[in-house]
Amino acid sequence: MSSIESYLSAQILAAKSITDNVYDGIVYVSHSLSETAKYEILKPLLPSITAYSEIHKDIENTTTLIAVDRNVVPSRKLIFAGTGPVNRDHDDVRRFGIAARNGMKLALKTGMKAPLILTLPHKKYPQAELVSALGIMHELYIPLNVREEKKTKTLMKLVKALDASFTVCRDIGDSDPQRMSPPYVAEYVTNAFNGTNISIRIISDVTEIEREFPLMAAVNRAANNVKDHQARLIWLEYNPEGSCNETIMLVGKGVTIDTGGADLKTGGNMFGMCRDKYGAAVVAGIFKALEILKPKHVKFCGYMCMVRNSIGSSSYTCDEIIRSRSGKRIAIYNTDAEGRITMLDPLTNMVELAKLEKKPRLFTLATLTGHCILSYGYMAAAIDNGPARVDHTAETIRDWGDVFGQPVEVSRLHWEEFDGMN
């Protein structure tokens, strides 16, 4: 069983004093000089910051290294990471995360190895401290290929859980198509959850996938002649202790490299498509957080649909008609729509299983980059079906995203978009 610590970007400890010698510097994420004086623990820093602000009037908008008295900070290193404005209508909590990242970048350049992180609270942003901590941890992430008291405890646990979650997600999502081919994703996930409270089941048999998930099998058909490229369908399950009031069911797109298939991506548009597996990577990351946080009364099920959309003599092509798990015949118009084709049969299976669950909610997670980038740039999007729209699911996701500095835009389906699909 892998320990939580092995997935953390750095060791996380709760500080008792800013003068503790265990820390070799301070990164102070702040939105206001005047507000600093309201907190006793921060007052010793104020003379040095105020003196510096007299010669640098724009300090609140910048990231700066300030020398302080050794009696205050033994290393004398204080990095003031200004958030810039945070009270305008269009500002959000991400400013704390960005300031923290900038502060950590400078801290590393100054040679800090064990910085103390301080965040000035803001009543408008109750999660500012968490977002700052995650910004710090983001800068400390080491890629997989290279690695080969009440409130405080709650915050530390949440930071550890989310940082471990992000590490699992990025290990799978960012790694190249060979290091994280479908079989190696399955191996990584098995190691990540071995001996934990997360159940895992992997379908690897080509014949079984062809029989039970024919659309997914079609997408991976051209890759089957290379053993390391054969598809994997990974099932993850979290069951809470005690009663269960609802079930969250996730299906993640995991295309380890998207060539476009027979409808080949051209003009350099294939570059970066190893990240087309981020939907499945997010599913794995969610379950790593569940393993640590152990939420009550809610069950989670997840499918990671790991395929490789290769091109070759066995490629599925446009004009093919494939009978899906549900019995419907699917006419292929473009093989570069491999994500929805890959997820459809596992989603159908989730619908079958949902009939046995309490208050089931189904979500697909995918890098549908064409729609998102054209509509929202690099923001994520949430799209409701009918029941989810009634329940305001997308708006709820958007609102929580704002709280934690993870912006999500709401995209809507309209009947006109389905006119040509009969």
- 153 is an active site residue: no
The active-site residue out of 157, 340, 361, 389 is: 340
The active-site residue out of 157, 265, 361, 389 is: 265
Q: Alpha carbon 289 to chain centroid distance?
A: 11
CA distance 26 to 42: 11
CA distance 287 to 199: 10
- 77 is an active site residue: no
Q: Give the residue numbers marked as catalytic.
A: 265, 340
